[in-house]
Chain A
Amino acid sequence: DAGVTQSPTHLIKTRGQQVTLRCSPKSGHDTVSWYQQALGQGPQFIFQYYEEEERQRGNFPDRFSGHQFPNYSSELNVNALLLGDSALYLCASLGFGGELFFGEGSRLTVL
């Protein structure tokens, strides 16, 4: 049983560019959350998707947007990248008992 998978694992962008990160939840999980983890910090909640709709959102600007597909996979898009967007972006799928399982993350470097 595959866990949460994310792609790409690493990427480098320049300021002002746009990036798309992808996530497939664990088999049977229909709810996906995205978190941003800056170096030396704990993850911070960006948003959560269920039934292809954004259900909750954290304190992130509109430059951060997402999408969920009918097969429950999800994308995170970040526009107009800033240096401060450099971080590990984590996708998590929601287990049946409320547990949150994370993927290995996509490490974004903005130059």
Chain B
Amino acid sequence: QKEVEQDPGPLSVPEGAIVSLNCTYSNSAFQYFMWYRQYSRKGPELLMYTYSSGNKEDGRFTAQVDKSSKYISLFIRDSQPSDSATYLCAQSFSGGYNKLIFGAGTRLAVHP
């Protein structure tokens, strides 16, 4: 069983749609959860950084962590074509102080 499972997509949505991206993980000891956005042939860009369970909102983005079911989500409201990218979830025991365990990424395409 992989430590982190993420649907590779691609996920195609119309502009303005609400997007839901998800990951499941196996190690209940993970405490920190991150979402990165990666454009083609670029490095990952940190979108959300959360600790333990709960929700965190930043503009059009909301990250949700459910430690009881080992499930994390990223919601994008009012999606834009510029949101078209690969979204990577990552988990660790203590943020960047320990290695991050990444999912394989979900490709998202937002069409006008």
A102 touching B43, Cβ below 8 Å = yes
Instruction: Tell me, yes or no, whether B45 is within 8 Å of chain A by CB.
Output: yes
* Stretch from B63-71, B73-81, B93-101 at the A interface: B93-101
Query: Quick check: A97 and B49 within 8 Å, CB to CB?
Result: yes
Chain A residues within an 8 Å CB radius of B105: 40-42
Is A81 interfacial (CB-CB < 8 Å)?
Answer: no
Chain B positions 21 through 63: 1 when the CB is less than 8 Å from some CB of chain A, otherwise 0: 0000000000010101000011111100100000000000000
In the complex, B109 has a CB within 8 A of chain A: no
Q: Chain B residue with minimal CB distance to A43?
A: B102
Check if B104 is an interface residue, CB within 8 A of chain A.
yes
CB contact list, A8-65 vs B, under 8 A: 31, 33, 35, 40-45, 48, 56, 58
Q: How far is the CB of A72 from chain B (nearest CB, A)?
A: 15
Chain A hits for B97, CB < 8 A = 31, 94, 98
Contact A95:B102 (CB < 8 A) given known A42-B88, A102-B44, A104-B42: no
Known contacts A90-B44, A102-B43, A104-B43; is-contact A42 B99 (Cβ 8 Å): no
Q: Residues of A with Cβ closer than 8 Å to B?
A: 4, 31, 33, 35, 40-45, 48, 56, 58, 88, 90, 92, 94-95, 97-105, 107
